[in-house]
Chains A and B, each alone.
Chain A
Amino acid sequence: MSGPMTGGVNGEGGALSGKCLCGAVTITVTKAPTAEVGVCHCRMCQRWSGSAFFGLTVPASHVEVTGEPADYTSFSSAKRAFCPQCGTHLWFRDEEGEYELSAGLFEDAVRYPLTREMFVERAMTSCRLPGEHQRQTGHQYKAHKTAEGDAS
């Protein structure tokens, strides 16, 4: 379970490049994303990934994908994409909105700070993340998303 981390900074404008475990899918973020990690503890993310989902929020226009990801519609119009060969989680995305890219794909994301947790009331006893950052309940998160939608 160790070895050099492949897929990191590609050196162009602070962009990121990453790939799945087997290399069949690559993802390039063409413009440096906001350097922060958000964590979702909802039940679906737990079932999907064993603990919680650790994501980077990136506008769709900055994401380039090669390979053939599979996806699964887990709730309403929200899709979860993964590599069908190795099972690597790639992103969570609601309709045509921003990507929540898997933070683990990118070497540099290891240095990004945690800024937000969602559905904290559902966090597993074993998965508590200390530190000073925003913590939203599922109710607060949904209210926030609704407010964002109303404003746009």
Chain B
Amino acid sequence: MTVPVTGGCLCGAVRFEARVHKREVRACTCNQCQRQNAGAWYDVPSSSDVVWQGLPRVYRSSDHATRGFCARCGSTVYWQEDGLQPALSHGAMDERDGWRLLERIEHEDTRPDAYRVVPTTAAAR
């Protein structure tokens, strides 16, 4: 059972249609995600069947993953583990309320003091 979603970057040059298994997201505060995105990076790990309108620019950020962004406005639109589907940006979703934070990926040495993102329950707001 999957749910259709749509979304895109800030300027609209990159748009996507996709499907997700559940409206669940993960937050990552590894050093790369923080460096690229200022703070916690939120993506949707169950993204599948992504159809792009306007292709992201791709940066290979490690030996096992790439990051896609809009070359015009710089919006980050996905993180992708090699061999898997791109995990789309949560913030880029046109409809983003009510999604549940399922997982936090934190590293002791880079975990910010400033904030703790809090996993949400399905009942929360």
Residues of A that sit less than 8 Å from B by CB: 1-5, 7, 18, 20-22, 37, 39, 44-55, 70, 72, 74, 80-82, 84-89, 102-105, 109-114, 124-131
Contact = CB atoms under 8 A, between A and B. Distances in A.
Given A49-B41, A50-B76, A1 B115 contact: no
Contacts, number: 205
Contacts of B120: 125-126, 128
A74 B61 CA distance: 26
Contact of A110 (B79, B97, B112, B125): B112
A21 B41 contact: no
A138 B69 CA distance: 27
B56 to A, nearest CB: 8
A21 B36 contact: yes
Interface residues on B, range: 35 or more
Nearest to A113: B114
A98 B26 CA distance: 32
A126 B27 contact: yes
Residue in A47, A52, A104, A113 with the greatest tally of chain B CB atoms within 10 Å: A47
Contacts of A125: 97-101, 120, 124-125
Interface in B53-90: 57, 59, 61-62, 65, 67-69, 71-76, 79, 89-90
